[in-house]
Every structure is written in structure tokens, then in C-alpha cells.
Amino acid sequence: MSEDDDAPTESSLFEAPPLSEQERMVEAVLFASAEPVGVADLNARLPHGCDAARALEMLRRRYEGRGVRVVRVGEAWAIRTAPDLGFLMQRETVEMRKLSRAAVETLAIIAYHQPVTRAEIEEIRGVSVSRGTIDQLLELEWIRFGRRRMTPGRPVTYVVTQGFLDHFGLESARDLPGLKELRAAGLLDSRPPPGVSEDGEEAEDEGQSDMFEDES
Amino acid sequence: MSEDDDAPTESSLFEAPPLSEQERMVEAVLFASAEPVGVADLNARLPHGCDAARALEMLRRRYEGRGVRVVRVGEAWAIRTAPDLGFLMQRETVEMRKLSRAAVETLAIIAYHQPVTRAEIEEIRGVSVSRGTIDQLLELEWIRFGRRRMTPGRPVTYVVTQGFLDHFGLESARDLPGLKELRAAGLLDSRPPPGVSEDGEEAEDEGQSDMFEDES
Amino acid sequence: MDDAGEIVDSIEARRAAEALIVDVDGFEGPLDLLLSLSRTQKVDLRKISVLQLAEQYLGFVERAKALRIELAADYLVMAAWLAFLKSRLLLPPDPEDEGPTGEDLAAHLAFQLERLQAMRDVAARLMGRDRLGRDVFARGTPTDVTRIRRVTYTATLLDLMQAYARIRTRDDFRPYVMDRDSIYTMEEALDRMRGLIGYAGEWMTLSNWLPEGWETDPARRRSATAANFAASLELVKQGAAEIRQSATFAPIEIRKVAR
């Protein structure tokens, strides 16, 4: 408050505590207070004759470069964590979870048939695809929106992303093995599904590459 | 934790931050918490290779004589205002429920005789301990259940908590006022009434000294 | 000497004695009362005259009775014990008696009083310390440690291809074949246990019966435990085995029926 060194002591009946002591007091009050404390409030709480503003300034300088700082919050003062140490105040736990079966299937269909609409995914899976499944894949950044299909209703299509390719270690979605290769690798029952001829499968494969051509 | 200067950095893939930086980090973490923080907890939160115990010791010395102090509470550390500045904190003072004489005595008996069974508390006070007295102390989190006594009936024992140490400003249960004198005077011995066999009591004594050793 | 009432002669002492009687509810048991009475001796508790104290206590109880004050049972138990102690201290020791001497008993009472007094003293010192929230304060604005819980979903290329293959050849897949992986049926358990029960002469806990590969994974262990338990009951019903459990949630034990 006063810039004059002698004024507070002179005007007081009792001698004010030394400035270093005032600084200790300000430190303790700022530490224990639930709210930032204003200078006037500090002066009211400190013994008569104290100069809270000066003590605060000393304290502020003392904490420069420390793990916590004396900062101004509006008209008041508070002790806060140094901004560069904010990372210590959070603890991150990473939890690995296996993608649900519905999500894996949806993702597979998008990868093999992109660009593909939701209606097409549902037709292939034979069950409806929940909004949440698509959202989850979008959030994982494994799929994104492709061009709208030029059919009635102009439905959105989904395609896989670079992130998808990185995660699954693929150069391009075309590197995904076809049904024949899956079968050769023993990932598929050797019997062809009823009603699907080998020829039909070939055609499908071709159709698939067509789609990828569209994308490129 | 390690007293060896080089070990932490050598064993780490990345170099640990300089000790002054570690001290800042410990400072930030202790300031941020109202509860004491354990050394193991600090080491877990600080970057790999840090030595929280050393940083704590530096920090403790830095705050000697200041408005707040770095205090040890059992196996943990906390920052607390200096006791001589309590008068500034009328606003922060928490209303303390007045403890009954029975509760105060029971607490002292648990602290000085821990781990202690209810029957032993009753033997010392010469009067039965009401359920409410123990409940009140448990609720204040000043006492907790210790290991069961390996005597017939396997009675539960009571011990004091870190919260107790924190509340009464004790570094450990060994710093209880007058503990040494009481022990020297034999007043903490479990002395069975004459005519009662001492076999069972020997084992109890061991358990008790274990308890205080554990604190170190 | 045993007329303790006559000791109280001065007005001050009489007033103090009356205060004791009026405050009888304020005492925390007979030891507390004895401790208060011992204060009138104004000596170190280690040098206290237990005989004198016993007389004071008995006198107190007598006066309380005269004033028709209801004394709690433990005060009367203590009175009876002190009367016994008094006789022990006054009579020459009986060489036939193997029990503790009057001096031993008196010393223990003195120890108890000293210990209680010591506990009261340290309790007062404890309460007088600088206390958190009264003299010493914790951080007023603690910063919460924010816990960021990040969930990462993973799938392998194999998952992806198998999923696709599954869709494209759906009709070839039996729908529950994967799920039955972790199901152990009662029939399987029964078959297995029938073969093994003959060797179970001693009680064996049910968990020891789990087939290999079914002990660790929780889902498989649950299934195998349930199947084994059902199979055990079946064996008991057939008279091939005995089953017991010593308490609720205690391990269930099985052995063959001794023939």
C-alpha cells in the first residue's frame, strides 16, 4: 500500500512484523485459502501495519522458476502449479480392448467393398449396423466418409483411411487377400458357400478392384 | 530412493531430469495435494529415473523457516502451514467435534499400545469401551483395524492411521510424546494380573514391538 | 482402622468426599474412582499405599450405600476384590496358599493406576499438540489429479480377414461353435470324475478337480467348477462319492465312499 518504508510502523501503535515475517504470513494465507485472496483482504488478515502488497511482491519473486508460482487471478492472488508441470497433475491409463465382432465385421466389409454405403454393409452382414459401430470406427480414424453415391437419396459412403492401413500393416486396401487366398490360407472353410460359384467370386474380386480404381 | 548418484540415470533409457528440476516437480505435486503423498507415489508420478526421496530432502530444507513447511507423515510427505501462523487462519479453521474423555483416552491407548485389542483397552481403562467410542475414532479415520491377534478368538486389533499422524503433526508413531519415558517406566508392557500365566502374553509383546519397527 | 468414615474429619475433606458421591456418574469406572481417591494421598503413584486406598474405596462404597446411591455392578465387584486384597495384606501369608501374595496384587493395582494416569497425561499432551485444521493447515485449493482413461481398441489383420470370411461363408459356420469353447458340460465332468474318483481316498477340494487348461481363465474356470460341482452331486447321489463343506463359502471337498 504505502511506498514509504517508515509510514506503517510510525502510524501503528505496535510495531509491524519485519517484512520477511509478513512474507511468511502471506505465503501461509495464500497456501491455505480455498479462494484467491485480494490485497485488501490480506492486509485485513495480517497484523496491523503490514504491507501485504510488498510482501506479495517479494513472495512472487521468490517463487519465480519454482514448481509453483504466485499468480494474479483477477483482483486477487493465488498459488498455482507452474504451467510446464501441469503434466504431473494428470495420470493417463491406457486400456486396450478388443474391437467388438460387429465392428470388426463392419470394418472388414468397408475395407473389401469401399466405397460402401450403410445399406450395403447391412445387406452384406445380414443385420443392421448400429450408429455406434460406425461412430466408433470413425473415432478410431480407421474409416472416413467417401463420396456420396449418385443414387436416389445420395447416401454417404465409407472408405478406409491411411490410419487403417498403418494399423493393419497394409500398403493399400487392394493388398487385402481375396476369398480364394483366404481359403488357401486355411482361413476359410474349403467348401464354397452354397450358390456361389468360383466364377462369381472372380467377378466379385474384379468388381472390388473397380471400386478401388474409383477411389484413386 | 537410491542413495547412489549414478544408478537411476544409468538404469534408465532416458536421462532423468536434473535434481533441481525433480525438486520443482515434487514441490508442484505436494502443493497440489491436500493429503500427504507417499514416496512411492511420487516416484510413480515423476519421470522415469527420478529420486523423489532426495528431491524431498532438498525441498524440506528449502522450506525451513518459511510460512509453509514440508513435513513427513509416516511414509508420506505433505506441505503444511507453519504452526506459529495458525492465528492467521481463523477462516480456514475447521470446527472440531469435541471428543469425549473416553474417546480421547481410548485414542491415546491405541496410539501408545498399538496394535491393541478392545479387551486390552478395557483392561487399561478399567471400564468397558462403548461401541460408539471406537466408531467415532474409526469415522475420524484416526484408527483402523490392524492384524488379528493370534490368540484364542482371534480378536481384531486397532492401530492408528496416517490421518492420525497428519492431524497431530507426528512424523511416525515413534514420535508420540513421552513414548520413550513410558516404555522405560514399563508402562507400555502388557503385564498380566498376578496369577495369570504369561505364555500367551509373550507373543503379544513381540507383535507390539514389530508395529513400531514397521514404522521406520 | 477399618472404619474409614472416621478418617474424614476436616470440613474440606468431607466436602470433597460428598462431591465424589454426587459425581458418581461422572466416574469412568472403578479404576477412575480409585485414581481420584489416590490423589488425596498426594504421593507418587508408585509409592501409593494400596491398603489405605482400598480402605478409602470401601468407605466410599459404604457411604454411597448409606445414601442409597445405586452403584454399578463393576464398582461393587471392585469393592469385593479390594476387601479381599485388604485381608490378604493384613493377614500373615498362608504357606499352603499357592496364589499370588497380597503384595503382588497390590503392586499390580498400583501399576494399573499408574498406567491409566500415564495414558491420561499423554492423551492431554496429544490433544495439546498443533493440530491440523486448528493450528496447522493443509492446502486450501488442492488440484485434483485428473485421471485420463484412454481406451484403445485393437484388432489384427487376422481378425479382419476372419470376420470377412465369416460373413461371406456365413452358412458354413455353426453359430455357437466359438462360444462353446469355454463351456465345460456336466457330462464331460461326470465322465472324467467317474474315472478319477476311485483314487480320491482323501478329502480333496473341488478346485483340485478342475481339468487341465480350465483353472486360470475366469470364464472357463467358472464353467468347469459348475460342471464339476453338478457332477459331484450326481456321484454323491449314485453313492460313489461323499461331499462336504465346513462353513458357508468354505471350500467344497469330495472323496470316494470308502467301501
Over chain A (216 residues), what is each successive 10-residue block's mean pLDDT? 44 76 95 92 92 94 94 90 87 76 90 88 86 89 89 89 81 72 59 42 37 37
- With cell 477399618, the residue in question is C2
Q: Are C140 and A33 in contact (CB under 8 A)?
A: yes
Whether residues A82 and A158 share a domain: the answer is: no
Helix/strand/coil (H, E, C) string of chain A? CCCCCCHHHHHCCCCCCCHHHHHHHHHHHHHHCCCCEEHHHHHHHCCCCCCHHHHHHHHHHHCCCCCEEEEEECCEEEEEECHHHHHHHEEEEEEEEECCHHHHHHHHHHHHHCCEEHHHHHHHHCCCCCHHHHHHHHHCCCEEECCCCCCCCCCCEEEECHHHHHHHCCCCHHHCCCHHHHHHCCCCCCCCCCCCCHHHHHHHHHHHHHHHHHHC
* Res B206: pLDDT: 42
- Look at residue B3 and give its three-state secondary structure: coil
Q: Are B173 and B165 in contact (CB under 8 A)?
A: yes
Q: What is the pLDDT of residues C20-35, one digit of tens each?
A: 555 556 678 888 888 8
Q: What is the pLDDT of residues B25-69, one digit of tens each?
A: 999 999 999 999 999 999 988 998 899 999 999 999 999 999 999
Is residue B2 assigned to a domain? no
Mean pLDDT of B8-23: 73
Whether residues A128 and A164 share a domain: the answer is: yes
Is residue B186 assigned to a domain? yes
Which one has a higher pLDDT value, C146 or B112?
A: B112
Look up the domain containing B194 and give its range: 101-211
Residues of A near B (Cβ–Cβ under 8 Å) read 23-29, 31-34, 45-46, 65-68, 79, 81-82, 85, 88-89, 91
Whether residues B197 and B159 share a domain: the answer is: yes
Whether residues A164 and A194 share a domain: the answer is: yes
Angle at A71 between CA A66 and CA A73, to 5 degrees: 160
List Cβ neighbours of A170 (8 Å cut-off, separation of 6 or more): A164, A176, C157
Confidence of residue C191 (pLDDT cuts 50, 70, 90): confident
Rg (CA), chain B: 21
Among A27, A46, A82, beta carbon nearest to B66: A27
List Cβ neighbours of C104 (8 Å cut-off, separation of 6 or more): B194, B195
- Give the minimum alpha-carbon distance from B6 to chain C in angstroms, rounded to a whole number: 31
Question: Alpha-carbon distance A14 to C253, whole Å?
Answer: 83
Show which of B89, B124, B143 is a domain's final residue. Answer: B89
Instruction: Output the furthest CA–CA distance in chain C (Å, rounded).
Output: 111
Torsion angle defined by CA atoms of residues A119, A120, A124 and A127, in that order, rounded to the nearest 10 degrees: -10
- Please classify residue C117 by burial: count the beta carbons closer than 10 Å to its beta carbon, then call 0-12 exposed, 13-18 middle and 19+ buried: middle
- What's the DSSP call for residue B21? H
Is residue B5 assigned to a domain? no
> C133's torsion region: left (phi>0), alpha (psi -120 to 50) or beta?
left
Grid coordinates in use for A101? 465382432
Whether residues A44 and A135 share a domain: the answer is: no
* CATH code, domain carrying B15: 1.10.10.10
Whether residues B60 and B143 share a domain: the answer is: no
Show which of B89, B116, B138 is a domain's final residue. Answer: B89
Q: Are B39 and B29 in contact (CB under 8 A)?
A: no
Q: What is the pLDDT of residues A109-122, one digit of tens each?
A: 998 888 899 988 98
Q: What number of C-beta contacts closer than 8 Å exist between A and C?
A: 120
Is residue A114 assigned to a domain? yes
Q: What is the pLDDT of residues B171-213, one digit of tens each?
A: 999 999 999 999 999 999 887 777 765 444 444 444 444 445 4
Is residue A216 assigned to a domain? no
Mean pLDDT of chain B: 84
A88 contacts on B by Cβ (under 8 Å): 25, 28-29, 32, 45-46
Whether residues B115 and B187 share a domain: the answer is: yes
Whether residues A80 and A106 share a domain: the answer is: no
- Give the minimum alpha-carbon distance from C219 to chain A in angstroms, rounded to a whole number: 17
- With cell 456321484, the residue in question is C235
For C128-217, where are the alpha helices, taking DSSP H only?
Answer: 157-168, 186-196
- With cell 511416525, the residue in question is B172
Whether residues B117 and B64 share a domain: the answer is: no
Show which of A69, A89, A109 is a domain's final residue. Answer: A89
Is residue A3 assigned to a domain? no
Is residue B94 assigned to a domain? no
Q: What is the pLDDT of residues C40-80, one digit of tens each?
A: 776 677 777 888 889 888 988 888 888 777 777 888 889 99
On the question of pLDDT at B128 being above 60, the answer is yes
List Cβ neighbours of A179 (8 Å cut-off, separation of 6 or more): A188, A201, A204, A205, C165, C168
Confidence of residue B103 (pLDDT cuts 50, 70, 90): very high
Question: Alpha-carbon distance B124 to A199, whole Å?
Answer: 94
Whether residues B195 and B120 share a domain: the answer is: yes
Grid coordinates in use for B216? 521406520
* Res B194: pLDDT: 79
Residue type at C106 in one-letter notation: A
Closest CA to B111 of B176, B166, B157: B176
Number of domains in chain A: 2
B94 touches chain C (CB under 8 A): yes
Is residue B95 assigned to a domain? no
- With cell 468360383, the residue in question is A198
Whether residues B115 and B197 share a domain: the answer is: yes
Mean pLDDT of B156-174: 93
First to last CA, chain B: 14
Interface test with B, best of C23, C35, C119, C141 (most B CBs within 10 A): C119
Confidence of residue B132 (pLDDT cuts 50, 70, 90): confident
Whether residues B121 and B200 share a domain: the answer is: yes
C136 touches chain A (CB under 8 A): no
C178 touches chain A (CB under 8 A): no
C140 contacts on B by Cβ (under 8 Å): 92
